């Protein structure tokens, strides 16, 4: 168990968000997958009710990064709330995903809401649950992706 | 701090889900609001990016229950995963909301994905964060509400 000041310095939520950002920008499937627990359950914004287990989630990342061509995705987190206890940590935040071209110019951007749950494992903290979404307009049933 | 067997018996995630179900069925705003922390942040499926604080969330419940007329909502949770530690607890599950008429006959039903985060407070466990959503179809940008 870490002391509380040690927990502050090595906040697993902020470390995970930074590593997520870096892995997505680098389109590095291995670095991305390393953030997650083998038994992760993800409720992702797009297309499917859940990803169950790391293999399915890694496949999603492979498809996502592979579809980008020469584009990159710059991720930004706002209003992060992190709660860290010795065994379990939770973070929630607003996310901006910005697609940029090979020169770094913005092509488009969208917002999500993100919840992350991490558990302390032998090899460090791992994401055991992730939930991303946008709010849905009641009239049209369409998702809103701009805050 | 509870012993681990005590935590099993009084699992705060399952208790919260049961109390949520009962409060919604009874359209009881006070019982519903009592489940949440003063500083709760909710990422709700419908219409708004976030509810910040209990007052805003209580108002949502008031509007929801008030709009039901003679209908009631029967809530059901499936595939609940609960992780409980001494100070922090997390649950995620699939939800079915069934609108029933005054005889109990089903009028319509929809599914959600739910994440709950609870913290132990003086007065017991309180929900500090809730996130509900449905996955979004990539082609139409419409939310899917049937599993």
Q: Which helix (H) or strand (E) holds B102?
A: none
CB A95 within 8 A of CB A79: no
Q: Cα-Cα-Cα-Cα dihedral of A69, B139, B42, A121, to 10°?
A: -50
Alpha-carbon dihedral sign for residues A112, B132, A88, A128: negative
Structural tokens at position A54: 């790391």
Least CB–CB distance from B115: residue in A86, A94, A129: A129
List the single residue in A with minimal CA-CA distance to B46: A136
Question: B13 or B5, which is more confident?
Answer: B13
pLDDT at B123: 83
How many CB pairs lie under 8 A apart between chains A and B? Answer: 121
Angle, alpha carbons A129-A134-A139 (nearest 5°): 140
Least CB–CB distance from B143: residue in A50, A88, A136: A136
Q: ipTM value of the model?
A: 0.94
Angle, alpha carbons B7-B13-B17 (nearest 5°): 140
Selection from B43, B131, B48, B86 nearest residue A129 by Cα: B131
Does the structure show a pLDDT above 70 at B3?
no
Task: Please answer yes or no on whether B83 and A88 come within 8 Å at the CB atom.
Answer: yes
Task: Please answer yes or no on whether B43 and A147 come within 8 Å at the CB atom.
Answer: no
**pLDDT tens digits, residue range B6-24?**
444 589 999 999 999 999 9
**pLDDT tens digits, residue range B131-144?**
999 999 999 999 99
Task: Please answer yes or no on whether A87 and B85 come within 8 Å at the CB atom.
Answer: yes
Report CA A4 to chain centroid distance, whole Å.
25
Which residues on A lie below 8 Å from B131 (Cβ)? Answer: 92, 113, 115, 131, 133
Query: Is the CB of A129 inside 8 Å of chain B's CB atoms?
Result: yes
Selection from B30, B89, B22, B92 nearest residue B62 by Cα: B30
**pLDDT tens digits, residue range B45-55?**
999 999 999 99
pLDDT at A35: 98
The residues, any chain, with a CB within 8 Å of residue B7's CB and separated by 6 or more, are: B84, B86
Distance CA B72, CA B30 (A): 17
Spans of chain A, pLDDT less than 70: 1-9
pLDDT at A123: 83
> What's the rounded mean pLDDT across residues B118-130?
95
CB B116 within 8 A of CB B132: no
Task: Please answer yes or no on whether B131 and A131 come within 8 Å at the CB atom.
Answer: yes
Residue extents of the structural domains in chain B: 4-133
Phi, psi of B140 (to 5 degrees): -100, -15
**Given pLDDT bands bounded at 50, 70 and 90, which one contains residue B146?**
very high
Distance CA A55, CA A66 (A): 16
pLDDT at A9: 56
Helices (H), A12-70: 12-26, 29-33, 54-66
Structural tokens at position A123: 């090899």
State the fold for domain A4-133: Nuclear Transport Factor 2; Chain: A, (3.10.450)
pTM for the full predicted model: 0.94
Least CB–CB distance from A88: residue in B50, B88, B136: B88
List the single residue in B with minimal CA-CA distance to A117: B90
Task: Please answer yes or no on whether B92 and A41 come within 8 Å at the CB atom.
Answer: yes
In chain B, the percentage of residues whose pLDDT exceeds 70 is: 94
């Amino acid at each position: 168990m870490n002391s509380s000041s040690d927990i502050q310095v090595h906040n697993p939520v902020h470390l995970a968000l930074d590593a997520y950002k870096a892995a997505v920008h680098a389109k590095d499937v291995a670095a991305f997958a390393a953030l997650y627990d083998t038994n992760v359950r993800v409720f992702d914004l797009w297309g499917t009710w859940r990803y169950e287990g790391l293999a399915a989630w890694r496949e999603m990342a492979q498809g996502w990064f592979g579809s980008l061509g020469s584009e990159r995705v710059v991720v930004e987190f706002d209003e992060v709330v992190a709660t860290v206890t010795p065994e379990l940590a939770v973070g929630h935040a607003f996310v901006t995903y910005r697609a940029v071209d090979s020169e770094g110019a913005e092509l488009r951007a969208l917002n999500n809401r993100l919840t992350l749950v991490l558990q302390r494992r032998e090899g460090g903290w791992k994401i055991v649950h992730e939930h991303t979404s946008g709010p849905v307009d009641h009239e049209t049933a369409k998702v809103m992706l701009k805050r």
